[in-house]
Amino acid sequence: MTSPFNTITRLSAVLLGLSALCVSGGPVGFTESPSGEAPDAKWPLPLLSASPVLEAFIGVTKLHETQFAEEFHEGIKYFFLDNYRISLPPAGCPAANFSMESCLLRLAQGLLHYKVLLKHVDNEYPNNPILPDARHYSGLLLSQIKERVKHPERAAEMSLAQEKSLLSELRSPDTFHRKVEAHCILRHLHLFLIDGKRALARKEMQKRDPRYHSI
């Protein structure tokens, strides 16, 4: 049977090549004009919702379900994590009246929030093979987002005090509780990326065809 680690390694090797293609300039799609977005960016830029980096990131986080099943077997159902409450970032683009700029900045801020939360996962599962790829693709996706916004400085890293405050909320004295929190973070990161991809696709479709209205 193929181990999750080998699966992740092969996926990472294949998708890393795709992410490099995207960064260096892959297939060109519709984007907003320079007057509506970052004036110094090279235009046009590919559709972010179709970015190989975003696809790779989603693929890596999806492998978490297998990890969870192997650890807990039938003791806890995977989708139980959807209802587990920790300090998560807000939805990336929840309102139809959000501008593309606001949508992208919310996604960037969410990624930076998860960057800190992944430190908790690292504390509980330091050898988790998902983490290096998650950090790698998160950095690439952040770079792609900042290419597309007028105010990339608004997507700022948390201060050390903010990080400490956020992580302190996850320092339960109960080992089992801390581990479930770590799994919850990986699960919600996956959902955050899927929701972000869907929101971006709607926004990009609206820019391509103003007659299009999202549901």
Reported confidence tier of residue 6, pLDDT bands at 50, 70, 90 = very low
Q: How many residues does the chain have?
A: 215
Do residues 46 and 22 touch, judged by C-beta distance below 8 A?
A: yes
Please report the pLDDT score of residue 89 as a whole number.
85
Do residues 51 and 196 touch, judged by C-beta distance below 8 A?
A: no
Do residues 170 and 34 touch, judged by C-beta distance below 8 A?
A: no
pLDDT above 70 for 40: no
Reported confidence tier of residue 8, pLDDT bands at 50, 70, 90 = very low
pLDDT above 90 for 18: no
Whole-number Å distance between alpha carbons of 18 and 21:
5
CATH number attached to the domain at 4-208: 1.20.1250.10
On average, the pLDDT of the chain sits at: 80
The mean pLDDT value for 91-102 works out to: 80
Interaxial angle between packed helices 52-62 and 4-25, expressed in degrees from 0 to 180 and rounded to the nearest 10? 170
Please report the pLDDT score of residue 209 as a whole number.
57
**pTM (two decimals):** 0.77
